[in-house]
Structure 1
Amino acid sequence: MFCSRTALRSEASPSAVVDCAPAGQTGVGARETAEIHASFETADISGKLHKNRQFLWTWAGAALSTVGSRTLGVAYPLLALAVMDSPISAGWVAFASTLPGLLVYVPAGVLVDRWGYRRVMLWSESLRVLAVASVIAPLLLWNRPPPLAWLLLMAFIEGGLWVFYSLAQSALVPSLVRKGHLASAVAWHEVSSHVSVLLGRSIGGVLHGVHLVAPFLSNIVMSLMSLCTLAFVKDEPWSRSPRASFTREVADGAGKLWRHPFLSVATVLTGMTTVMTQALIMIFINALPSMNLAPMLVGVLLAASGIGGALGAGVVPRRRSVMNRIVHATGPETSARWLTWLVGMLANGRSILLVHAWVWVGALTIVLWFDGPIAFGIAMFVMGFAGSLSNVMIRTIMVRVAPGSLARVFGVSRLVSHGAVALGPLVGAALVAVFKDWAVGVLAVAMVATAGVVTVVPSLRRSLSTGAPVTA
């Protein structure tokens, strides 16, 4: 038996219901799982968020803060390289600015849930302004660079404060929108995140060419503007359960993620695809000396995943109609129809995460079959597009699973994703060293195996789908 009493809309009739929850789940857990999947599939995504001023102010402030943060991601190592003339120093500064992504997310999630989301955003952004100002003060006042130790410390602190801000902002959004608008709200933030990353890195490089302190001054301005937007946002409704010990709250956040059938499998799957994406980038970088590509083209190819991500999140309001058109075009009794079921596109058992896995297979096949930089760019674009859709679904479901403890659940999830980003280049370098020209082929085989497992293992497939029986 694969079904519980929870009702899901069927493919045959929008008003019909199907009892479908993963086997082995009973009671509240089964009903909750199916309801959450259904809420994403039937969400009101009509675009009414432009009338929600509280949400718009938060969204604008987060976009400004993200642009500023990504500007510093480029500016810190460039400053170290310029004033110390040491690539090693630049590398250490870049490492210090990214290290909080591995060390801070989990404890920060607990503290953000304790302290309140809007309050954390205000304090984090204010302290980031002070940290950045302390970096450029010696250059502006005494025309001498800050010591390397200070630059390392401030890069780490500023990166840690950004972790606090991003967790608080993600956890605040659900209190500002109606439940039916949540998927659309998450999609808005996903789009702005990808665009902000692309803009921030470009701005950092351009402003560094103008003056050493210019990227840092622009960050201060954007952070102050972000703080101003929070003046128009009310504090979230506050209801906090009795405080447990710190370690118990960490375990609570991890438990809510790993005990939930969908979130646990989705987190592992997206972590693996992130490793493969970063490994593919490293394989491409290793091949650059033999390609003789223009630097601008290299930049465009590496940015393709961000462009795809922004467009993918923008498709969220039309995701159901697009999938339905593909399914209807295959006809009722064809091999193509069976294929759409296999990759999780049929409404009865639809799974964006299954589609995500097979899109990765297709993207790596493009690189393997056609080879060359254009194939790499197309693959990165496709991966970014599909990955963004998956991110929106995962975050939407997290909100329903963990009200009151969102930040700590987000913290554990982001630790996994940042760990995958750090691990991916090492995997890519190892594949190049061992398999040389066959590195992409090995990566593609691994992705086919991963997609195959989540497709044919019934418990995994049910966890990633709307709960329909695993039959064609």
Structure 2
Amino acid sequence: MTAPPLSRNRDYRLLWGSQALSEAGFAASVIALPLLVLAVTGSPALSGLVLGVDAMAQLVAGLPAGALADRWNRKKLMLGCEAVYTLAVASLVATVWLDVVSIPQLIAVAAVMGCCRSLFGPAEGATLARIVPTAQLPTAVAMNSARGALGQLSGTAIGGFLYGLARAVPFAFDVLAHAVSFAALCFVRSPRHEPVPRGEGHLGREMAEGLRWVWGERHVRVTVLCAVSLNFFFSAYYIVVVVLARDRGITAGEIGVMAAMLGVGGVAGSLIAPWLQRRLSPYVSIMSVFWVLTLLTPLAAVIDDGYLMGALFVAMALLPPTANTTIGTYQLLLTPDRLRGRLTSVMGVIGGVSAATGPAFGGLVVQAVPGGGAVVLCTAGIALVTLVVTFSPTLRHFPRSDALTAAPAEPQPVGGAHSADVPTTEENQP
């Protein structure tokens, strides 16, 4: 019998809704943190340092996080992350309210935030494939992408507004958001996953196994290399565009709208991704992203209006969610459940490295090559990756995710129509 739609999947709704709220809370804190550091110290360098600690903590904890998500009870791991995150930010609320906040505490809280998010991601990614039927997994992956974009957009706006009311308020909102998320996660029924086999209890070996899996699967390896290369050049391009916009006299308000439009395009693209993913072949859905970016990115060299640039960003962001849905669904279905946490963590670490190095490269490029030349240079990098994707035999024969529908690793959904089909679940209480 056909499984009920995601809108009636209780466990998916709880997981999606709780994390939409958490994402908004985190985004509110991220926009308020540098403002708080500036207010306390007056140092832009320290503001960057605090945010950098959060990003670095996510990278450092990334690979161990995936191994731990495959070793431990995933639901308890998610609950633990939410609880520790809530307590860390609550301590910040208290010290800001009492006007005794210090830089060491801000750095410590940022590190805890990064570690908790790094640990939570693989556990949630692996759990998603266990509570959603295989046929609905592409839609769930796309909706998770939309959730992230929505959370970032709403949280950034909320955080700026709340900080204007009082310094502690955006962090208090973050605490409330994660406390509610913790409560919702308590009621998610998460199926047990395969335990780590006897004799494989060494964390280093488990991390290495995850890396070997990603590198050993040809389709996974090629898509990762192409995506990382694209992310590197596009994140560099983004910094170049922002700097050029400032140099051309575009106001800060227009630059803010321009940046927000990238998120708006991502949300819209995520909403249409399930429909496109069913109608386009995997090769076309992946290749189209690279060609659209190759054709659109040079236009920034001649655009001197922030709103037009924002419209260009919307167009650029529409198709990537479809490709991400195609690739992400295939990877989850291909990967054995006992390795899914490590798959997610490896993807996160690799993406984090490109996201961290790309802006630095962009800053160097725009400083060395003034004007539109920096845009052209970044476009050339994207075009080179596009040619590799276009002529890649691996991507030309990228399989559809429904080819794995009958794979043994397919989970039975929790919260489906028949209770007899529900597997043994982990504890419903923390």
One of 186, 193, 200 as aligned partner of 1:238:
193
1:78, 1:90 within 8 Å by CA — same for their partners in 2?
A: yes
Question: For residues 287-330 of structure 1, what are the alpha-carbon distances to aligned partners after superposition, in whole Å with 9 as ceiling and x for unaligned?
Answer: 2333322322211101222111111111123215765xxxxxxx
Partner of 2:396: 461
One of 277, 296, 304 as aligned partner of 1:363:
296
Shift of 1:398: 1.8
Distance 1:410 1:199 in 2: 25
Distance 1:260 1:83, change over 3 A: same
1:61, 1:226 within 8 Å by CA — same for their partners in 2?
A: yes
2:248, 2:304 within 8 Å by CA — same for their partners in 1?
A: no
Aligned ranges for residues 364-443 of structure 1 at < 5 Å?
A: 364-368=297-301, 372-402=305-335, 403-437=337-371, 438-443=373-378
Shift of 1:181: 0.8
Distance 1:413 1:297, change over 3 A: same
1:312, 1:384 within 8 Å by CA — same for their partners in 2?
A: yes
Shift of 1:395: 1.8
Question: For residues 217-260 of structure 1, what are the alpha-carbon distances to aligned partners after superposition, in whole Å with 9 as ceiling and x for unaligned?
Answer: 10111111101111221132232131342121111111221222
Distance 1:47 1:366, change over 3 A: farther
Distance 1:415 1:222, change over 3 A: same
Partner of 1:194: 149
More displaced stretch, 51-60 vs 230-239: 230-239
Higher relative contact order, chain-length normalized (CA < 8 Å, sep 6+): 2
Partner of 2:246, secondary structure, is helix
One of 119, 125, 129 as aligned partner of 1:164:
119
* Structure whose CA Rg is larger: 1
One of 7, 10, 23 as aligned partner of 1:53:
10
Shift of 1:101: 2.5
One of 428, 433, 447 as aligned partner of 2:382:
447
Letter in 1 for 2:380: V
Question: For residues 441-464 of structure 1, what are the alpha-carbon distances to aligned partners after superposition, in whole Å with 9 as ceiling and x for unaligned?
Answer: 122222222111221243453358
Shift of 1:376: 3.1
Partner of 2:58: 101
Letter in 1 for 2:240: I
Partner of 1:150: 105
2:146, 2:270 within 8 Å by CA — same for their partners in 1?
A: yes
Letter in 2 for 1:290: D
Distance 2:298 2:102 in 1: 48
Distance 1:414 1:84, change over 3 A: same
Say how many residue pairs are matched: 397
Shift of 1:465: 8.0
Distance 1:169 1:321 in 2: 24
Partner of 1:336: none
Distance 1:447 1:462 in 2: 22
Letter in 2 for 1:445: A
1:47, 1:184 within 8 Å by CA — same for their partners in 2?
A: no
Distance 1:51 1:289 in 2: 47
Partner of 1:128: 85
The RMSD of aligned alpha carbons is 2.3
Distance 1:235 1:458 in 2: 38
Q: Please, what TM-score do these two structures have when normalized by structure 1?
A: 0.79
Distance 2:397 2:228 in 1: 19
Question: For residues 50-103 of structure 1, what are the alpha-carbon distances to aligned partners after superposition, in whole Å with 9 as ceiling and x for unaligned?
Answer: 111111011101111111111111122221111222222222211112212321
Runs of 5+ consecutive residues of structure 2 not aligned to the other structure: 402-430
2:70, 2:196 within 8 Å by CA — same for their partners in 1?
A: no
Distance 1:180 1:131 in 2: 39
One of 218, 224, 228 as aligned partner of 2:173:
218
1:364, 1:440 within 8 Å by CA — same for their partners in 2?
A: yes
Letter in 1 for 2:285: I
Distance 2:174 2:108 in 1: 18
Aligned ranges for residues 14-413 of structure 1 at < 5 Å?
A: 48-140=5-97, 143-242=98-197, 243-319=200-276, 323=280, 350-368=283-301, 372-402=305-335, 403-413=337-347
Shift of 1:371: 6.0
Distance 1:365 1:109 in 2: 38
More displaced stretch, 404-413 vs 143-152: 143-152
1:72, 1:215 within 8 Å by CA — same for their partners in 2?
A: yes
Instruction: Name the % identity.
Output: 25
Distance 1:349 1:127 in 2: 40
Distance 1:279 1:440 in 2: 9
Letter in 2 for 1:133: A
Question: For residues 101-134 of structure 1, what are the alpha-carbon distances to aligned partners after superposition, in whole Å with 9 as ceiling and x for unaligned?
Answer: 3211111111121112211111100111111111
Distance 1:125 1:89 in 2: 27
More displaced stretch, 46-55 vs 185-194: 46-55
Distance 1:185 1:230 in 2: 17
Shift of 1:349: 7.1
Letter in 2 for 1:232: F
More displaced stretch, 270-279 vs 412-421: 270-279
2:234, 2:378 within 8 Å by CA — same for their partners in 1?
A: no
